[in-house]
Structure 1
Amino acid sequence: MISQSLSQKFSQKMSPRQIQLMKLLQVPTFELEQRIKEEIESNPALEEGNTDSNNEENEYKEADDHEKDDNSVDFEDYFPEYGEEDQTYRSASDGYQQEDKPTRQIASNDSNLQDYLERQLNLVDLPTDLDRIIGKQIIGSIDEDGYLRREPISITDDLLFSMNLQIEEQQVLKILAIIQQFDPKGIGARNLQEALLLQVQGKLKEPEKLDEFRIKDLKIAEIILRDYFNEFAKKHFSKLAQNLNVDEEDLKSAYDEILKLNPKPGGGYVDNDALVVQYIEPDFTITNRDGELEMSVNSRNSPDLHISEGYKNMVRNLKRKRQSGKLSKEERETAMFVKQKIEAAQTFIDSILKRQSTLYNTMHAIMMMQYDYFLTGDTRYLKPMILKDIAEKIEVDISTVSRVANSKYVQTEFGTKLLKEFFSDKVQNNDGDDVTTVEVKKMLSNIIDEEDKTNPLSDEALMELLDKNGISLSRRTISKYREKMNIPVARLRREM
């Protein structure tokens, strides 16, 4: 399997510590608390809460005056030096006062889409616990629009990599078919065609809610979406009517039923008519203090972490035993267990600290490069900036910046923004000045918004209008920008 091979090669190049950091970087702020709780539950050497390690007598740094024998355990080899140098992660270190902590920008019924789907999964009588694990992995891969945009092989690779589970693609497809019956209808679709088809089929499974005319319209719509989606997408109505052997009135009724469907099923309504949305917890806040920008990092969901006092006491006791005599086989095994747990706990604490510093450095570098924008909120002040620019400034890999940019949000006076929105290439206008592609796309979008919808503008016409506004681009580039903004070609923008 090519994907599995690539995953294995990638994992071989990264240390466990690096892999852990990469995963933590992608954890949303509102999920970080739960992630930390899971780590604490799995590792008794890791604890949360305040600890006064600075006043603690440091018994780990006592000189070892005893000669070693073949049966001794060298605790200096087994353990790092904990005590005054014990690294503790404290959320207060980021300088947040209680009143300064940012709030969630989107609130609903105390749930997000993933939670809602998992609750439905828990109500399904699945044959094995493995099926439930697969189901949770699938749900975790569904994006905010409700789509599963990953291949089954990628999900099997994830389970192999994270849980050492050998799963066949067919098992993933079997559980996916179950999830696709969940509410909101169309969830878990792999493309637009499947999303719309699932919604139509869901309506037809409840005929008692429909009259005979709607049932007829929906059945025609089902055939269109299943067998003639390309013709439908290209608005080849005459060809559709001919293939379906229906008149224009029936075709229009079926077409209207399709237009009522939700192209983004993840934004659909649940049974209690509450819109299921994903929380956006800002990772950063930027404020304008009399012309000076201030930035803070949200650490409200990061409790204080430290090494367990109980485990430290075990280290002390085992060291004393070693110094006074021999250790038994059981005590050697205990020493090894304690070593592994403390090392894992310290690695996690280090990763949390590194996560915070990486987030801070990335956002600070972006803020400094886009200073005028954050002062004004005017996109005309956005400077051309690519991932490499930030990576070089903070001396990290481009992939690290990419992970932060694609998953982290900043709360500004002009709204809450995904960091990747501040990255763009540059083009030169007719005066030789640099203009960001963000600004060019905005100009293009405004022109299309104001066009005559009965006679929409072709890409060539758009190219000419942009040229009159001082931006010379090829028709191919216009087409690429239009597609990135999810704006269809002129023929598909035409209104009846």
Structure 2
Amino acid sequence: MLYQNITQKQQLKIHPQQLQMLHLFHLNTIELEQRIQNELEDNPLIEQNTDPDLATSKNDKEDIQDYQDWDEFAYDDSPSYHAKYSQQEQMPEKPIVESIDFRTEALTQLSWLQLPVDEAELAEFIIHSLNEEGFLEGNAETVADDYSMKRLKIVDAVMVDKVIKLVQSFEPVGLAATSIQECLAIQLKRMDTKRPDVKYAIRFMEEFYQDLKARNFNRIMDVLNIDEEDIKIILDLLGTLKLKPVPKGDSTPVQYDTIIPDFIVTQEDETLHVSLYKEKASSLKISNSWKAKVKNMEKGQGTGDQATSKYLSNKLNAAEWFVNAIKQRESTMLKVMKAIVKVQFDYFNTGDELQIKPMILKNIADMVGVDISTVSRITCNKYVQTPSGNVLIKNLFNEGIANQEGVAVSVRKVQETIQQVIQEEDKTSPYSDQQIAELLARKGFKIARRTVAKYRDELRIPAAQMRWNTIHHRSAAA
């Protein structure tokens, strides 16, 4: 028998060109240049104007120079100031230490493995996504979203989680950990897991981490059936571990990549000006000769078969869309950045991070009149050059909390206060999260203990017991 069923469902369909537009918003300056270069190679109808500022003028070549080459310098018998510089000083024999970035080491270890192409590309992406301390910011789902958007390849979170665990097996130990808890657990699992203290320490990290942070030792002792002496042995073991995969002052020197900003904010008197680091829309154009040829072929006046005419017509449409998309990208980016500067004027004017005001993506989206996803793509993985240095734009977004006067205060200012309180504490008797919450309340920030613990974890500051244990271990080692 035949049955008819009525079903109702919702589907979100994105036009391919809209997806490509979001992808263009997501690209930073270097990635955009590569994208434009690929389009120039693929589409003959797009042309790029030569930047006159980069071209060497003929007059520059005709400038008078002291010496054109080595032969002229060597056989010049006229006495001059250069004679005292002609003698070569003896070079030092001490070899120069080669600096190796931990990412370079990880990529080298990756090259030793025989992985499928898709897993190798994903692992390389994860390694380049690590911050300067070796942590992976975000979980498998966020990494999957970033990878899918940047590479235009759909990848699921299960595969990302598998590759993350693979990278975590590299050196230095703890690499690609997403938190201090995971960093400590990775180090413990590299030890002899048959040792009782290591076994219990792993359970501390996996099952009782929150109790450890809250110093709820009684519950841990009841569940694991251990005594205070065992607790002390385990805490001493945890004190020997490093809290970060690549701690500051590590023996391995770290090379920092040169940051190429996407925006430039300059200050003139009391006015802030926003501009793009490199404008590409003005240098791109459609070839007039090819455009005329395509139009003639569409009218049947040119030479060529129907397939050629259709191919060139599609290329013309793609070229026109791409050039207009670059113009729209740059126009929208400037609007978004100007709105951010307007909200964070005090920060850009002074360079003081405590002046950063509460700001979320929706605030900027409403000011510019675009979707929140557009603002998210534009501000993701992009830097702005300010008079105080390069700033990651996403760091300017933060939620706020109300102080005793009811004024919204940025989370960054609260975190800065927490960090200052911990720095000024007695190292032999560190403050607990509850004590920090009470001290913050006296300063006008009334937040819960669990909120203090959250912000402290974001600052990658360990709990009070771990801070005390680290100091105790260092003192004992000394």
TM-score (norm 2): 0.66
Equivalent in the alignment of 1:140: 125
Residues 330-380 of structure 1 show CA distances to partners (whole Å, capped at 9, x for unaligned) of x21222222222222322222222221222111111112222332222345
CA contact (8 A) 1:91 1:300 kept: no
Amino acid at match of 1:430: Q
1:250-273 CA-partner distances (Å, limit 9, x unpaired):
96885465x24x734599989xx5
| Counterpart pick for 1:415 among 389, 395, 398 | 389
1:285 aligned onto 2:268: no
1:407 match: secondary structure: coil
CA contact (8 A) 1:365 1:390 kept: yes
Task: Tell me the residue number matched to 1:27.
Answer: 27
More displaced stretch, 381-390 vs 234-243: 234-243
Aligned counterparts of 2:146 and 2:385: Cα–Cα separation in 1: 35
- Who is 1:151 aligned against? 140
8 Å CA contact retained: 1:138, 1:155: no
CA deviation profile, 1:175-233 (whole Å, cap 9, x unmatched) = 6666555555544556656655666788x8xxxxxxxxxxx799889756766534795
Structure-1 residue corresponding to 2:244: 263
- Cα distance change on mapping 1:140 and 1:221 into 2, 3 Å: farther
TM-score (norm 1): 0.64
CA distance in 2, matches of 1:193, 1:445: 19
Which aligned pairs between 1:222-371 and structure 2 lie closer than 5 A? 229-230=205-206, 234=212, 255=238, 259-260=241-242, 263-264=244-245, 275-299=254-278, 304-308=283-287, 311-312=290-291, 314-319=293-298, 322-323=300-301, 331-371=305-345
What is the identity, as a one-letter code, of the residue corresponding to 1:424? N
Q: Read off the aligned partner of 2:360 and give its amino acid letter.
A: I
2:45 touches 2:291 (CA, 8 Å); kept in 1? no
Task: Tell me: CA distance 1:367–1:182, structure 2 relative to 1, closer, same or farther (3 Å).
Answer: same
1:49 aligned partner, one-letter code? Q
RMSD (Å) for aligned C-alpha atoms: 4.7
Give 1:396 shift.
Answer: 0.6
Asked if 1 retains the 8 angstrom alpha-carbon contact of 2:177 and 2:183, the reply is yes
Query: In the alignment, residue 338 of structure 1 is paired with which amino acid?
Result: L
Mapped pair 1:437 → 2:408: no
Q: Deviations over 1:160-179 (max 9, x none)?
A: 997778x8988767766665
Which range moved further: 386-395 or 14-23?
14-23
SS in 1 for 2:340: helix
Q: Which amino acid aligns with 1:34?
A: Q
Residues 370, 37 of structure 1: alpha-carbon distance in 2 compared, 3 angstrom cutoff = same
Paired amino acid for 1:135: A
- What residue is the counterpart of 1:37 in the other structure? 37
Matched, 1:18 2:4: no
CA distance in 1, matches of 2:183, 2:388: 34
Q: For residues 117 and 251 of structure 1, do their structure 2 counterparts lie closer, same or farther at Cα, with a shift above 3 Å needed?
A: closer
Provide the rounded CA distance (Å) in 2 between the counterparts of 1:282 and 1:432: 36
Q: CA deviation at 1:488?
A: 3.8
* Ranges in structure 2 where 5+ consecutive residues have no aligned partner: 1-9, 54-97, 473-478
The residue type paired with residue 263 of structure 2 is F
Find the aligned partners of 1:44 and 1:150 in 2 and give their Cα distance: 38
How far the C-alpha of 1:275 sits from its partner, in A, is 2.0
1:33–1:302 contact (8 Å) kept in structure 2: no
**What amino acid is the match of 1:38?**
N
Letter in 1 for 2:124: I
* Matched residue, 1:446: 420
Report if aligned partners of 2:263, 2:385 keep a CA contact under 8 Å in 1: yes
Which residue does 2:359 correspond to in 1?
A: 385
Query: Contact 2:404–2:444 at 8 Å: present in 1 too?
Result: yes
- 1:136 deviates by 0.6
Q: Write the distance in 1 (CA, Å) between the matches of 2:111 and 2:260.
A: 26
Which whole-Å CA distance do the structure 2 matches of 1:426 and 1:376 have between them?
A: 20
Contact 2:264 / 2:385 at 8 angstroms: preserved in 1? Answer: yes
Residues in 1 aligned to 2:137 and 2:404: alpha-carbon distance in whole angstroms: 43
Once the two structures are TM-superposed, the CA of residue 277 in structure 1 deviates from its matched residue by 3.9
SS at match of 1:32: helix
Q: Report the CA distance shift for 1:342/1:379 in structure 2 as closer, same or farther (over 3 A).
A: same
Shift of 1:394: 0.8
Deviations 1:300-357, CA, capped at 9 Å, x for gaps:
788933334664354145246x148xx87xx212222222222223222222222212
CA contact (8 A) 2:280 2:326 kept: no
Which residue identity lines up with residue 144 of structure 1 in the other structure?
Answer: L
Unaligned runs of 5+ in 1: 1-7, 52-89, 93-107, 205-215
Note closer, same or farther for the CA distance 1:32–1:121 as it changes in structure 2 (3 Å cut). Answer: farther
CA separation of 1:32 and 1:186: change in aligned 2, threshold 3 A: farther
Q: Which moved more, 1:484-493 or 1:341-350?
A: 484-493
Q: CA separation of 1:475/1:342 partners in 2, compared to 1, >3 Å: closer, same or farther?
A: same
Contact 2:265 2:386 in 1 (8 A): yes
**What is the distance in 1 between the residues matched to 2:118 and 2:52?**
32
Aligned ranges 1:162-241 → 2 under 5 Å: 179=167, 182=170, 184-188=172-176, 195=183, 229-230=205-206, 234=212
Match of 2:346 among 357, 362, 372: 372
Shift of 1:135: 1.6
Matches of 1:338 and 1:111, distance apart in 2: 47
The 3-state SS of whatever aligns with 2:39 is helix
User: Residue 262 of structure 2 contacts residue 277 of structure 2 at CA under 8 Å; is this kept in 1?
Assistant: yes
Matched length? 405
